[in-house]
Each structure stands twice: as structure tokens, then as C-alpha cells.
Amino acid sequence: MPHHLPDMLRAHPMQPSDMETIRRCIEACFDCAMACTNCADACLAEEKVAELRMCIRTNLDCADICEATGRVVARLTKPIKALMEAQLDACMAACEACGAECTRHAAMHAHCRVCAEACRACAQACRALREAMPH
Amino acid sequence: MPHHLPDMLRAHPMQPSDMETIRRCIEACFDCAMACTNCADACLAEEKVAELRMCIRTNLDCADICEATGRVVARLTKPIKALMEAQLDACMAACEACGAECTRHAAMHAHCRVCAEACRACAQACRALREAMPH
Amino acid sequence: MPHHLPDMLRAHPMQPSDMETIRRCIEACFDCAMACTNCADACLAEEKVAELRMCIRTNLDCADICEATGRVVARLTKPIKALMEAQLDACMAACEACGAECTRHAAMHAHCRVCAEACRACAQACRALREAMPH
Amino acid sequence: MPHHLPDMLRAHPMQPSDMETIRRCIEACFDCAMACTNCADACLAEEKVAELRMCIRTNLDCADICEATGRVVARLTKPIKALMEAQLDACMAACEACGAECTRHAAMHAHCRVCAEACRACAQACRALREAMPH
């Protein structure tokens, strides 16, 4: 797959010390946004869509929140600590909720199992950045 | 201006008791997203754009976060309390940061003054919904 | 509802001659994005959600496309004609598709009827801007 | 980097014949959205930001359009041909405009050079899907 982010970050005028942690967080946020967008759609196509309402809803929330978070973290110029911390917290909450809901359907639907993994990876990458931020 | 949200909400199968507070929060989030997107662009067109870097960056963050929050709040089906509370907190943090930064340029740029007002209104509408949520 | 866009546009350093048409297009795009996000969610809550799959899918597409279009149109600094025309065309196509699908369910679901109106208003506002653009 | 999209698509109830082309298009759209979001921010941090106004503006447009397109293409359930074609056309127009503008600054700024590559790859992936669609 095309993947230009590492070269983009290397070329950025700002070079924060935790750049690796930032890169992993951006990648995980966009990966999770793609997974959640696709999982909502896969659930919609399932015969028993009525049983997947909560999964679809949480997928849609999580996709929106992951995208917004990925964009905020991708901006290295003059970041504001309180804003970024709160958005990382919201992203962890969304990924935990969505991962938990997807896990409930993992045995039945492989797309829910994979989406739960993407949520877990994203929550972890957000937490790593959250903990790397200066106190 | 066209404004179909009130009729949309009246027609929704879910009718939560705090619908008025929800409606005001959705409207304020999208209003603030429009204002911040436009303020970033107006700052970019200013002669002294170099002095407005932080304002542009914060505008972009706030626009993304307000849009994600507005979408999450606009979903009434099977909401998840922890996710919504965390996203409302992030939106308040974004609006406060952006409103404070815009206020610094309010005497010089009318678009920053108006954007600061939109941020204030949005933070207030998010707080009202946050406080109306059951404990 | 809070509505800061008119004051934002009045304060912008760029003052294109078709500002009224631009303002109406931005407002209609965000109005339609809110309506479509909410209609997808209302459909998801309906007992017969399985019959509304196509409506939900088209609502989600239309919400994403309207938001992207509203953001592009809200930027007045150094616009690129080919890009804006193509995005306005895509937004008209999305609103027409979503409006047609929602109309099919309008007799049964008031939220689909209102959403079809929002789509119609948005397609019209995009067309007005498209036609006002210099050849 | 975490990359769950291939497994997500394999698990989807819908299995269109051009799934490989679809996957490449989704990946390229999100890759380009990340690159453009980051390039706008890198330009904002450059000393000569005033000379990069058009680049920043086009980056922001392209990021928004790529994200909306990636989401639309990631939905496999009941797609609407006219809508998807128009959005793919808009994405190609955005990537061509942004790639051309970034190329003008490529000798001076490595982030613009890399972003131009991401735009080229995304335009190509959209064109491949556009041409694979049934007539």
C-alpha cells in the first residue's frame, strides 16, 4: 500500500522528540477509522442487521473520532497540550467502547473481530502518546 | 438559511428527554466548525499570516473536533455515555483553546472576534449537554 | 440557533462578488450534512431497519460529501476552479441520489421526507454556485 | 504500521469482483489525506509561510476530499454508480491540483515533494477504480 507518512514527518520543520510515538498514533487512528467505516458497512449488509444496531452506531462514532484525532496529532506546529490530551482521551474512550461492542460479535462476524483488533491497537497508540506527553 | 435539524429531530424514533439541549449542542458544533474553517482561511489571507500560525492551527483542530462531536451528538440510537462524555470534554477543551487564541487577535481581526464568539457558544452548549447527562 | 457564518464572511479579507451565493451554499451543505447524519441514525432505529439499508448507506455518503464540499466552499483564499467545480458536481450527484432514495420512504418515515428536502435545497444551492462561477 | 483493511475487506459480506482495485483506492485516499493534512501543517511552520498560502489551501481541500472519497469507496453495500463516479472525479481533480501546486515547491521543501507523490498515487488509484466500474 502507498504509505507516505514516515517521509512526510521526516521532512517536517518541527521535529519533536517523541516523533515515533506520534507517527504510530496517526497511523493507528487512520487505520482504525478505515476499519470502523468498513465494519459499519459490513454490519449493514448482514442478514441480521437489526441485532447490529449498536455496533453500527459505535463504529460510526469511532470512525469520526479517530479521524479527528489523527488530524489533530498530525499537526506538529504549535500544539496545545490540553486540547490534545482531551482528544486523545476521547479517542481511547471511543476505541474501548467500539472494541468492546465488536468483541461481542467477533465469534459470529470476522469483520467485527478484525475491527476490535484495530480499536485495540488505536487505543494503545493513543495511550502511548498520552503518556509520552510532558507533564 | 435552510435549517432542517429541528424537524429531523422531531421525526426521530428516539425521543430523549433532553432533546432541546441535544439540538442546541448539534447546532453549536456545526456553527463553530463553519466559523473555525472560515477563520483559518481568513487568517491565511491576512498580510501578517506569519503571526497567525497558532490561530490557524487551533482553528483547524477545533473545526475537526466540533464536526466529530456534532456527528456523535446527532446520533440518538444507543449512545454510549463514556464515549459521549469524553468527546464533549474534548470539544469544550478545543473551543476554549481556540476561543482564547482568537480573542488575542480580536482587536485586529474581526473574523477572530466572531470566531471566538462561536467557540464560546459551542463550549457552553457542550457543557449544558454534559451537565444534563444522567450520572 | 447560533449562526456566525454571515459575520465571518463579512470579516474575511477576500470579498468575492458572489459572496451571497457562496454563503447559501456553505449553509446548505452543513444543513444537509446534519440532516443526513441524523436520518441515517433514525433509519437505524426503525423496526424495519433491513428495508432501509440503501437509505442509510446513501445518507452516510451524502453527509461525508456535503461536509467536504461545505469546507471547500468556505475557503475563499486562492480557490482552484477545476477542483471546486468537480466537488460541487459530486455534491449535486450525492444530494440527488440521497434525495431520491429518501423520497421513496417519505410516506412512511417523516425523517426521510425532511431529509429529502434538505438534499433538494443543498443540490440547488450547489447548482447556483456552480452556475455563478466564471467560465 | 497497523493495517487492518485487507482483513476487513476479506470478511465483508459483499465481495465485488474489483475488490483489489477498491482496496488500493481506499488506502491511497487515506494515505493522501494524511500527507495533505501534514503538508498543510509543515507549510504553516515554514519561515516563508506567506509564499505557501495556495499550497496550504489546496492541501486542506485535498485532505477533506480524499477522506470523503475514501469513506464512500469503503462502503460496499448498495453503492450508487453516479455518486461514486462523481466523487472519484472530484478526488482526481483535487489530487491533480494539489500535486501540481506541491510540485512547484518540491525543490525547496521535501514535504511538498513527498506530498506530490502521495497525490499522484491517489489520483492513479482513483482513476483505476473509475475505469474498472461497469459502463
Our separate counts of H helices and E strands in chain D read 5, 0
Cell numbers describing residue D92: 482526481
Q: Is the CATH number of domain C17-132 1.20.140.10?
A: no
Average pLDDT (D31-47) is 98
pLDDT at D1: 82
Query: Closest residue of B to D54, CA-based?
Result: B44
The answer to whether A130 touches A73, Cβ cutoff 8 Å, is: no
**Taking CB atoms and an 8 Å cutoff, what residues of chain D touch C49?**
none
Distance, CA of B3 to CA of B7 (rounded, Å): 9
Distance, CA of D81 to CA of D68 (rounded, Å): 16
* Interface residue C113 vs chain B (CB under 8 A): yes
Closest CA to A111 of A33, A32, A35, A34: A35
pLDDT at B134: 78
Distance, CA of D67 to CA of D47 (rounded, Å): 29
Average pLDDT (C24-45) is 98
Reported pTM: 0.98
Distances (CA, A) of D47 to B49, C132, D42, D50: 11, 37, 10, 8
Cell numbers describing residue C134: 466564471
Which chains border A (3 or more CB–CB pairs < 8 Å)? B, C, D
pLDDT at C135: 72
- How do residues A8-64 score in pLDDT, each as one tens digit? 999 999 999 999 999 999 999 999 999 999 999 999 999 999 999 999 999 999 999
Interface predicted TM-score of the whole assembly (ipTM), two decimals: 0.97
**Taking CB atoms and an 8 Å cutoff, what residues of chain C touch B75?**
37-38, 41
pLDDT at residue D12 is higher than 90: yes
DSSP summary character for residue D3: -
CATH fit for domain D18-132, picks 1.20.1270.360, 3.40.50.880, 3.40.630.40, 3.40.50.150: 1.20.1270.360
Contact C87 D67 (CB under 8 A): no
Q: How confident is the model at residue D82 (pLDDT cuts 50, 70, 90)?
A: very high
Contact C53 A49 (CB under 8 A): yes
Instruction: Using the structure block, give the residue that is written with the C-alpha cell 459575520.
Output: C7
For testing contact with chain D, the best of B37, B49, B101 (most D CBs within 10 A): B49
Radius of gyration of chain C (CA): 16
pLDDT at C1: 82
pLDDT at residue B75 is higher than 90: yes
Cell numbers describing residue C104: 421513496
Contact B76 C37 (CB under 8 A): no
- How do residues C35-69 score in pLDDT, each as one tens digit? 999 999 999 999 999 999 999 999 999 999 999 99
Helices (H), ranges, chain C = 5-10, 19-45, 53-74, 81-104, 110-132
